[in-house]
Amino acid sequence: MTRLGSTVAMWLSGIALSLVSMNAAAAVDELPLRFQVPATVSPEAARNLAAIYAASSRRPPLSSPTSLSDWDRQREALDRLMIPASDAIVAKLGASVQDDRIGDVPVVRIRPAGYKSNGRTLIYLHGGGYTFFSAHSRLGPPALVAAATGDEVISVDYTPAPRGNWQTVTDQVLSVWKALLAKGIAPGHIGIFGDSAGGGIGAGSVLKMRDQGLPLPGALYLMSPSCDVTQQGDSYLTLSSVDPVLDRDSSARGAEAYAKPQDQKNPYVSAVYGDYSKAFPPTLIQGGTREMLLSNFVREYQAIRGGGHEAVLDLYEGMPHVFQGSIPDAPESRTAIARAASFLQEHLR
């Protein structure tokens, strides 16, 4: 039995937030260090994180999947829990959602309230440790970005591991990409973004596009991206014990389901090992200082900049993994989404 890993923990905590008394905040000092809220975050973030962390500390563990059917059952159970919360975010923002297929890959189209086509399109790749969630249970981040940019977001409902793997998933992303280009959409008017595992999938897919001689997107936006599934980097030593969302064991289990050990340093799996001396789009990387993956962000940023390309590393004090989606009303999250919208609009003109 292990604690929930990857983004599962944060999203289930978001549901639990509505069930936890605000008195939980008063008991924060009694919680383990990993679930204590830094004093340096905004008051709004502190209130919400205190309740989320209190719920997280009391959540029972899940068993480790040992078969495909085990993985399926856990994924389906988590989707059933998350879809109502996901739909509520969409309703609050007044967005519309429509199922579709592009390049023979299932996708979900998310359009902001009052949408009018402006020639730009965004492709979103959801997180979930490579193994959990779906385009329907992860509508929050794409709906927030759609509302901030005014753009349609196409969320790729890729096949999670172990049903899919790094080869099939990146091929699905490229199938959607090729189909959009075939429709006449200019590549420079398309942006790609993703959170957590989805950020790693996005960066790896762009490297694969480039190596296949395909046109590249106009911009890449990575939210707390998983850019090295081998768990190399200083923050795995310094921050894993205080990360309130991720843990090394379950993250490694998801990585093993997605890519065999001998494949885990393939750049399409772990983008930090890519060759950035060749073309790569302008990239915005966002994350928090309470993330075990912090070294992933820094190393990917340095790799892109070292190749002579534009990259921005935008970090937020005391924030946990993919904070933009878990506490969207906090000043930190509003700032992060606004900066992302500005970055995408600038580069997708």
Q: Is the residue at 295 inside a domain?
A: yes
CATH of the domain at 224: 3.40.50.1820
Q: Confidence class of residue 29 from pLDDT cuts 50, 70 and 90?
A: low
Amino acid in the structure at residue 191: G
User: Model-level pTM?
Assistant: 0.92
Least confident stretch, 57-66, 84-93, 169-178: 57-66
Decide if 77 is inside a domain. no
Look at residue 3 and tell me if it is in a domain.
no
User: Within a domain: residue 29?
Assistant: no
Query: For residue 15, is pLDDT > 80?
Result: no
Percentage with pLDDT > 70 across the chain: 91
pLDDT of residue 64: 87
Return d(Cα 102, Cα 109) in angstroms, integer. Answer: 10
Residues composing the chain: 349
Cα gap 220→164, rounded to integer Å: 23
Long-range Cβ contact pairs of 262-270 (< 8 A, separation 24 or more): 263/166, 264/229, 264/230, 265/230, 266/166, 267/204, 267/207, 268/166, 268/167, 268/170, 268/204, 268/205, 268/207, 268/208, 269/166, 269/200, 269/204, 269/229, 270/200, 270/204, 270/227, 270/228, 270/229, 270/230
Q: Which of 10-14, 66-70, 301-305 has the lowest mean pLDDT?
A: 10-14
In a domain, 27, yes or no: no
Rounded Cα–Cα distance for residues 167 and 232 (Å): 22
Within a domain: 30? no
Please tell me the total count of domains within the chain. 1
Tens digit of each residue's pLDDT (9 = 90 or more) over 223-273: 999 999 999 999 999 999 999 999 999 999 999 999 999 999 999 999 999
Residue 306 belongs to domain spanning: 85-347
Q: Is 13 within the bounds of a domain?
A: no
What digits encode the pLDDT tens for the residues 156-201? 999 999 999 999 999 999 999 999 999 999 999 999 999 999 999 9
Residue 109 lies in a domain: yes
Q: Is the pLDDT of residue 114 over 90?
A: yes
